[in-house]
């Protein structure tokens, strides 16, 4: 009984000082909690009011995932979406090994760390958080809209934005470039409310201020903004999902990079504008917000 009364104290001491190979049981309730959280680098708490337990857990999970993906969106690099994810997400291992043989002779095994392992120094992360500070209130407002739609002025738009971010996060966690491009095209489609090529174009032009005829891609294959959106949605997302482009050796790496950059800009821009938006809560608002 005494140990159960001190379970938090015992748990905190074990998390700070317990050695990794120590398998002895902690006294009382602390042991059960320790087993559940010992391997978690962080915990997320979401308070849900007004719903029964099963639905509350589902909503809390959506809000927690949106919060993590929003922070990763602010940081910008795709690897953050693999480093900041819920425990039950489909994620690659932290390390990958490979074996190769040529002419019947086996090479030494190769190995590499995956993007799940954080690499930036702490100073760089602190600076990124400082740079992110101005847009965090916009993300927070959307999270409040998910938790309490009645208290948000635009609950439908907050939900639409979070759904688009979900597609963006899954695209960044995706290892296959073609599937990632399809998810990124879907992200833009959800945000513009089924706008397809034209609706996405209207939204991007409005949020960025760029002209459709502006040349946004240089190099050996220059493209205007209109051509780039067509490549992402018509030649990318639609043809991939409809089976027109099915060769898995075909490279979609470059289109994936452009689509990621474009989707990140409009997601951040639309979240910031939503915070100060006073218009109607209609599905196509992000095209004109």
Contacts of 27 (CB under 8 A, 6+ apart): 3, 10
Residue 113 lies in a domain: no
Q: Give the CA distances from residue 212 to residues 188, 191, 224, in Å, rounded to whole numbers and listed in that order.
A: 16, 19, 7
Q: At what angle do helices 225-232 and 253-275 cross, to 10 degrees?
A: 110
Residue 98 lies in a domain: no
- Using DSSP, state whether 84 is helix, strand or coil: coil
Helix boundaries (H) for the chain: 2-5, 7-17, 29-37, 53-75, 80-83, 122-132, 136-147, 155-173, 177-191, 196-208, 225-232, 239-241, 253-275
N-term to C-term CA, the chain: 58
Residue 103 lies in a domain: no
- Domain residues for the domain of 185 are 53-87+118-287
132/17 same-domain check: no
β partners of residue 112: 96
What single DSSP character describes residue 150? G
142/17 same-domain check: no
pLDDT of residue 20: 80
Residue 17 lies in a domain: yes
Residue 13 lies in a domain: yes
153/20 same-domain check: no
7/72 same-domain check: no
82/125 same-domain check: yes
What whole-number distance in Å separates Cα of residue 68 and Cα of residue 173? Answer: 13
Residue 23 lies in a domain: yes
79/217 same-domain check: yes
Residue 94 lies in a domain: no
In b/e form, how buried is each residue of 118-139, taking b as 16+ CB within 10 angstroms?
eeeeeeeeeebeeebeebeebb
184/238 same-domain check: yes
pLDDT of residue 39: 86
**Residue tagged 């010992």 (tokens):** 38
Q: Give the CA distances from residue 262 to residues 201, 227, 239, 257, 266, in Å, rounded to whole numbers and listed in that order.
A: 11, 13, 19, 9, 7
Give the CA dihedral 106, 109, 115, 116, nearest 10 degrees. Answer: 130
Residue 92 lies in a domain: no
pLDDT of residue 49: 92
141/234 same-domain check: yes
153/246 same-domain check: yes
Domains: count for the chain: 2
Average pLDDT across each block of 10 residues of the chain; the chain has 289 residues. List them in order: 94 91 91 92 93 96 97 93 92 93 96 89 90 95 96 96 98 96 97 91 95 92 94 93 92 95 97 96 95
What whole-number distance in Å separates Cα of residue 288 and Cα of residue 16? Answer: 51
- Using DSSP, state whether 14 is helix, strand or coil: helix
129/254 same-domain check: yes
30/59 same-domain check: no
9/83 same-domain check: no
């Amino acid at each position: 009984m005494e140990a159960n009364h001190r379970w938090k104290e015992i748990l905190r001491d074990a998390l700070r000082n317990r050695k990794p190979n120590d398998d002895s049981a902690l006294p009382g309730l602390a042991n059960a909690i320790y087993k559940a959280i010992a391997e978690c680098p962080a915990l997320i708490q979401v308070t849900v009011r007004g719903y029964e337990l099963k639905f509350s857990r589902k909503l809390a999970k959506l809000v927690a995932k949106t919060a993590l993906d929003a922070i990763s969106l602010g940081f910008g690099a795709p690897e953050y979406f693999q480093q900041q994810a819920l425990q039950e997400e489909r994620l690659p291992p932290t390390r990958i090994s490979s074996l190769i043989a040529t002419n019947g002779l086996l090479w030494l095994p190769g190995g590499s760390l995956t993007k799940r392992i954080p690499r930036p120094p702490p100073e760089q992360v602190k600076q990124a958080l400082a740079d992110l500070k101005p847009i965090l209130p916009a993300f927070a407002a959307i999270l409040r809209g998910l938790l309490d739609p009645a208290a948000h002025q635009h609950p439908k738009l907050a939900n639409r934005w979070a759904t688009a971010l979900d597609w963006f996060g899954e695209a960044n966690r995706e290892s296959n470039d073609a599937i990632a491009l399809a998810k990124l095209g879907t992200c833009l489609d959800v945000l513009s409310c089924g706008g397809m090529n034209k609706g996405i174009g209207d939204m991007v032009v409005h949020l960025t201020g760029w002209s459709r005829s502006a040349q946004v891609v240089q190099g050996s294959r220059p493209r205007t903004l209109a051509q780039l959106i067509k490549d992402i949605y018509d030649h990318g997302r639609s043809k991939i999902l409809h089976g027109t482009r099915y060769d898995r050796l075909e490279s979609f790496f470059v289109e994936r990079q452009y689509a990621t950059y474009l989707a990140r800009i409009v997601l951040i821009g639309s979240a910031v504008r939503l915070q100060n938006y006073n218009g109607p809560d209609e599905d196509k608002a992000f095209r004109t917000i």
